Amino acid sequence: EADIYQTPRYLVIGTGKKITLECSQTMGHDKMYWYQQDPGMELHLIHYSYGVNSTEKGDLSSESTVSRIRTEHFPLTLESARPSHTSQYLCASSEWGLGIRYGYTFGSGTRLTVV
Amino acid sequence: SQQGEEDPQALSIQEGENATMNCSYKTSINNLQWYRQNSGRGLVHLILIRSNEREKHSGRLRVTLDTSKKSSSLLITASRAADTASYFCATDAETSGSRLTFGEGTQLTVNP
């Protein structure tokens, strides 16, 4: 049973709006990640965090920003949404340790449409 | 370019048949993982195989890893309609700092 939650599940907004996608996990994982995925395509890492006050940009350049003030919370913000931001955003977490032992736990995703 | 590439892109089989998906990667890895994604949902971790392992089983799943060829395969035996999903391999490269890189996925359809 996944203990990582993303809200909202679906979001349709107008161009220029500021949005925040929420991601929370109850497993106490130090590592958290945001991936972007277009329908039927691969996942691209856009942000990650190894713990509180630690955030890094991923492999795919993104105009979004993230914060990690609490271990369990890793929100993603778009200051001014554009149609090119339309995509699915997936949040994940994993345990710290000697590499990854158990894999990532993913949330159900937020499907964002910017009109 | 993407670390993991999967083959085939799509696979359609009948219930009861076996399904085999392949994954190739480019750099040295700590481990390789397989995930499943139902349409429009998040991914679910299926199995992890370490670089010093050659084969691993979990229920109807069998994963092999050939580090000399930089490839892995996922076998689902006695498939069911409920196995219909996209399957992704993901690599934890030695230089990645434990960040996974995902392949393009294989869309599996199991027909009743």
Closest CA of chain B from A99, distance in Å: 6
Asked if the C-beta of B7 comes within 8 angstroms of chain A's C-beta atoms, the answer is no
In this complex, do A107 and B33 lie within 8 Å of one another by their Cβ atoms? no
A37-57 pLDDT per residue, tens: 998 889 999 999 999 999 999
| B104 interfacial to chain A (CB closer than 8 Å) | yes
CA distances from A47 to A69, A92, B23, B33, B70 (A): 15, 11, 25, 20, 27
Report the gap between the CA of B45 and the closest CA in chain A (Å).
6
Residue with more model confidence, B89 or B1 = B89
Q: What is the pLDDT of residues B41-55, one digit of tens each?
A: 889 999 999 999 999
- DSSP label of A83: G
Nearest to A99 among B41, B88, B98 (CB): B98
Helix (H, G, I), strand (E, B) or coil at B76: strand
- Residue B91 to residue B61: CA distance in whole angstroms: 18
Cβ-count burial A30-65 (b if 16+ within 10 Å, e if not): bbbbbbbbeeeebbbbbbbbbeeeebeebeeebebe
Strand (E) or helix (H) holding B32: strand B29-37
- Structure confidence at residue B6 (pLDDT): 84
Per-residue pLDDT of chain A (115 residues; tens, 9 = 90+): 558 999 999 999 999 999 999 999 999 999 999 999 998 889 999 999 999 999 999 988 889 999 999 999 999 999 999 999 999 999 999 986 555 567 899 999 999 999 9
What backbone phi and psi angles, to 5 degrees, belong to A83?
-55, -30
- CB of B27 less than 8 A from some CB of A: no
Identify the pLDDT of residue B1: 37
